[in-house]
């Protein structure tokens, strides 16, 4: 098949697609489009020859308005970065638990470091909110540490490796039950600020919240209040609201917060893996099969 890639040309992806027999072409002559922009530079009108659009991210919230204005099939990159994001999640959680910023940086004394440090393997429970592909891979990686695992997904169907699974409609049952919470849910109107002051109040005061999904899953204002009041013990954030955080934002100075600059999955990793994923999507389309990563713009994922 022929494809166009806009607005940037990613050589790593192009090389992989060339090896799979696909040809880079102009938009007017392509069968599908790989779009790697932020939505502001999306073509005002797609030609009728474009059968589907592939994007390089699992989350689609930044493109929903554009998607709803087109009649074309959209495919996301769900499943492509399960390993990278799961590994980054563990790194963030361990960094927070092991107090990697020591005396003379953010903690005032060696005793304060001792009080802060905890261990994942010591009879702990991890709740994964949004236990899709990344969550399932995370469960596998966490198994060596031995925590009890609660999974939360849309359906409530049992997730392999989890000790318990709840549907998202019953997530309120989970907040009091875990020590560490990992947020990987898609950002939708229903999940916007799903972790707020009411939720923080339900968590144990030793709880740690890890966000590798989208910044607005957490109310930043309520997170600051929960940290100040001691309702929770800390947070580890790969994504924030706002993003990027202003240089003078109080989260930067809080010793209980670890912040990464939205690198749970890196640009290089995206470019290396997107080509192979797109080739599989194109093969499914050519065979008349359902695209496994087809997006439902109305649902928001």
Catalytic residues: 214, 243, 262
C-alpha–C-alpha distance, residues 171 and 185, integer Å = 12
Question: Which residues partner with 296 through β-bridges?
Answer: none
Contact call for residues 233 and 96 (beta carbons, < 8 A): no
Omega prior to 232 cis, within 30 of 0 = no
Which CB contacts under 8 angstroms, 24+ apart, belong to 115-122?
A: 116/233, 116/234, 116/255, 116/256, 118/206, 118/233, 120/93, 120/94, 120/145, 120/147, 120/180, 121/145, 121/146, 121/147
């Amino acid at each position: 098949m022929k494809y166009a890639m806009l607005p940037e040309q990613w050589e790593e992806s192009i090389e992989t697609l060339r090896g799979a027999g696909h040809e880079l072409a102009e938009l007017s002559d392509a069968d599908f489009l790989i779009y790697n922009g932020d939505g502001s530079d999306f073509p005002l009108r797609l030609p009728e020859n474009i059968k589907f659009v592939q994007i390089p991210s699992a989350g689609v919230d930044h493109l929903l308005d554009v998607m709803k204005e087109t009649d074309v099939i959209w495919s996301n990159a769900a499943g492509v970065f399960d390993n990278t994001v799961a590994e980054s999640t563990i790194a963030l959680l361990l960094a927070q638990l092991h107090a990697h910023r020591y005396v003379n940086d953010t903690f005032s004394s060696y005793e304060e470091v001792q009080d802060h440090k905890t261990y994942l393997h010591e009879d702990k429970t991890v709740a994964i909110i949004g236990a899709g592909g990344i969550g399932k891979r995370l469960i596998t990686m966490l198994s060596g540490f031995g925590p009890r695992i609660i999974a939360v997904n849309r359906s409530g169907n049992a997730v392999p490796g989890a000790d318990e699974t709840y549907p998202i409609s019953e997530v309120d049952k989970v907040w009091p039950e875990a020590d560490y919470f990992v947020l990987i849910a898609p950002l939708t109107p229903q999940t916007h600020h799903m972790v707020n002051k009411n939720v923080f109040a339900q968590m144990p005061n030793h709880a740690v919240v890890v966000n590798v999904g989208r910044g607005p899953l957490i109310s930043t204002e309520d997170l600051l209040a929960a940290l100040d009041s001691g309702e929770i013990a800390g947070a580890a954030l790969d994504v924030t609201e706002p993003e990027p955080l202003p240089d003078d934002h109080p989260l930067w100075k809080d010793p209980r917060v670890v912040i990464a600059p939205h690198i749970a999955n890196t640009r290089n990793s995206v470019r290396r893996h997107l080509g192979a994923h797109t080739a599989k999507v194109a093969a499914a389309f050519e065979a008349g099969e359902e695209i496994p990563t087809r997006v439902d713009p109305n649902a928001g994922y």
